[in-house]
């Protein structure tokens, strides 16, 4: 079914509509358009293609190989491979000779924008605020206006940063999420020697620390909950976790066993890029040679459980951070706080009637089947698929970029009821049981 307005309306009707036009849904749309004459339309509130665009600080690198692009793992001859992007934009030799271990995140965002421009129906700057179900399938609304309908729906909304309850009462100009750091850097004042804290020991945390260090701040306190600032395990055995064979093996386990295994595998992906840690240590050492002290102090094993505003000795206000440690509580006084403590799933804007049909698990999230379809009542041939929302059901690959085209291929094979794409992973040296 090609794009056409339904009888009696001017609302475009598609085979499939998707909320979100980030990497997950772009991968799906790329494979969809290459394998069928049906139409898919994506809608995204962002003004353009991107992936954590507000964290595009200079020097920030990806954590995955450039081979793990939108399509290559299932269709290496596809028009939208990263390699074809390099060749057709004239940057192949410059990129190759730069010998990146991992590509710059800015380059990845440009690749996404290039790919999105090649697809037929990708609509940026359109915030979907309501999804309804009617005789014509799913209808998507933006600001009360229908923008498209489709037989099937794919949710690829990703996650959003948030301020934990322990920091909610702090002034917004003194404590803010890491995504706002570039915009707020001027608000931190001319006193680059004032203490600034970064709460959160993950990749976003280290990127915030590096950004502050690059701007000349000399008293940066970096707090992480884990006992050390762990780097990603990039060994061959760890990488075997990020392949279809392991994802299939997880689906054979009971939910309780699967969740326990996934949580223990966190260091293979939910950790710091070794290159970023090396860059931080070297920059910190270089600064120490100039100033006589390390501008960045790392505080592992600190669970920052509250922050309150208090008056300092000079009459100014300071943020007092209260930390739990393995031994005894600690307090740290800082001028500003950058919050990099995690993200949460963006709520899906189902209307009340459709929302009541959706089955929710004990964790409050959608129940997602092995083929990434959402369990719901009364589907009548209309399918809902969800990407990036089932980490404890599908493994760590569901929450990152490693198997984007594999997940998209699984969805399309399920949606069309046939093997549109072959997913091959026979040569696996690990027997997962």
Is the pLDDT confidence value at 126 over 80? yes
> 47 by DSSP, 3-state: which?
coil
b/e map 282-312, b = 16+ CB within 10 Å: ebbeebeeeeeeebbebbbbbbbeebeeeee
Beta-carbon-side half-sphere exposure of residue 289 (alpha carbons within 13 Å): 5
The residue that leads in pLDDT, 302 or 6, is: 302
- Total-model pTM: 0.92
Task: Note the pLDDT tens digit of each residue in 309-361.
Answer: 987 766 678 999 999 999 999 999 999 999 999 888 899 999 999 999 999 98
Confidence of residue 187 (pLDDT cuts 50, 70, 90): confident
4-158+346-416 and 165-231+271-339 agree in CATH topology: yes
Q: How many CA atoms lie within 13 A of 235 on its CB side?
A: 6
Q: What are phi and psi of 41, to 5 degrees?
A: -125, 135
Round the average pLDDT of the chain to a whole number and report it: 92
How high is the pLDDT of residue 8? 55
**What CA–CA distances, in Å, run from 43 to 3, 153, 423?**
15, 11, 28
Non-local (6+) Cβ contacts of 417 within 8 A are none
Across the range 372-401, mean pLDDT stands at 89
Q: Where are the domains of the chain?
A: 4-158+346-416, 165-231+271-339
Q: How confident is the model at residue 5 (pLDDT cuts 50, 70, 90)?
A: low
How far apart, in whole angstroms, are the C-alpha atoms of residue 233 and residue 356? 41
Of residues 69 and 433, more confidence is placed in 69
23-35 vs 404-416: helix axis angle to the nearest 10?
50
The owner of tokens 């390099």 is 86
- DSSP per position, 220-281: EEEE-SSSS-PBP--SHHHHTTSSHHHHHHHHTS-HHHHHHHHHHTGGGTSSB-HHHHHHHH
161 burial via Cβ count (<10 Å: 0-12, 13-18, 19+): buried
Q: Are 340 and 204 in contact (CB under 8 A)?
A: yes
Pick the CATH number of 165-231+271-339 from 1.20.120.1200, 3.50.50.60, 3.90.1150.10, 3.40.50.2030: 3.50.50.60
Q: Residue 117: how many CB atoms within 10 A of its CB?
A: 10
- CATH number (3.30.379.10, 3.50.50.60, 3.30.750.24, 3.30.360.10) of 4-158+346-416 reads 3.50.50.60
pLDDT digits (tens, 9 = 90+) for 34-54: 999 999 999 999 999 888 777
């Amino acid at each position: 079914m090609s794009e056409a307005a339904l009888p009696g309306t001017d609302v475009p009707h598609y085979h499939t509509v998707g909320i979100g036009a980030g990497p997950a849904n772009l991968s799906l749309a790329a494979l969809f358009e290459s394998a069928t004459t049906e139409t898919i339309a994506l809608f995204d509130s962002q003004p353009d293609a991107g992936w954590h665009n507000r964290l595009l600080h200079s020097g920030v690198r990806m954590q995955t190989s450039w081979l793990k692009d939108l399509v290559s793992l299932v269709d290496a001859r596809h028009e939208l491979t990263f390699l074809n992007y390099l060749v057709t934009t004239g940057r192949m030799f410059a990129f190759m000779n730069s010998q990146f271990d991992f590509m710059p995140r800015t380059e990845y965002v440009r690749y996404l924008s290039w790919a999105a421009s090649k697809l037929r129906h990708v609509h940026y700057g359109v915030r979907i605020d309501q999804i309804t179900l009617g005789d014509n399938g799913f209808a998507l609304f933006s600001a009360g206006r229908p923008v498209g309908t489709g037989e099937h729906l794919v949710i690829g909304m990703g996650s959003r940063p948030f301020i934990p309850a322990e920091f909610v009462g702090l002034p917004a100009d003194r404590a803010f999420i890491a995504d706002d750091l570039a915009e707020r850097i001027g608000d931190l004042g001319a006193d680059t020697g004032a203490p600034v804290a970064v709460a959160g020991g993950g990749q976003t945390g280290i990127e915030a620390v590096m950004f502050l260090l690059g701007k000349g701040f000399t008293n940066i306190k970096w707090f992480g909950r884990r006992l050390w600032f762990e780097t990603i395990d990039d060994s061959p055995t760890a990488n075997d976790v990020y392949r279809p064979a392991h994802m299939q093996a997880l689906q054979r386990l009971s939910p309780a066993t699967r969740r326990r295994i996934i949580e223990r595998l966190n260091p293979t992906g939910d950790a710091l890029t070794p290159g970023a840690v090396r860059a931080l240590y070297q920059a910190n050492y270089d600064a120490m040679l100039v100033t006589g002290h390390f501008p960045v102090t790392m505080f592992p094993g600190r669970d920052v459980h509250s922050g309150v505003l208090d008056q300092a000795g000079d009459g100014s206000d300071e943020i007092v951070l209260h930390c739990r440690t393995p031994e005894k509580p600690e307090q740290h006084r800082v001028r500003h706080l950058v919050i990099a403590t995690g993200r949460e799933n963006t709520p899906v804007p189902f209307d009340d009637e459709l929302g009541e049909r959706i089955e929710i698990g004990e964790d409050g999230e959608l129940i997602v089947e092995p083929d990434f379809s959402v369990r719901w009542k009364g589907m009548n041939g209309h399918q809902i698929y969800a990407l990036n929302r089932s980490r404890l059901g599908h493994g760590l690959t569901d929450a990152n970029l490693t198997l984007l085209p594999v997940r998209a291929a699984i969805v399309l094979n399920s949606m069309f009821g046939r093997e549109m794409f072959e997913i091959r992973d026979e040569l696996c040296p690990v027997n997962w049981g």
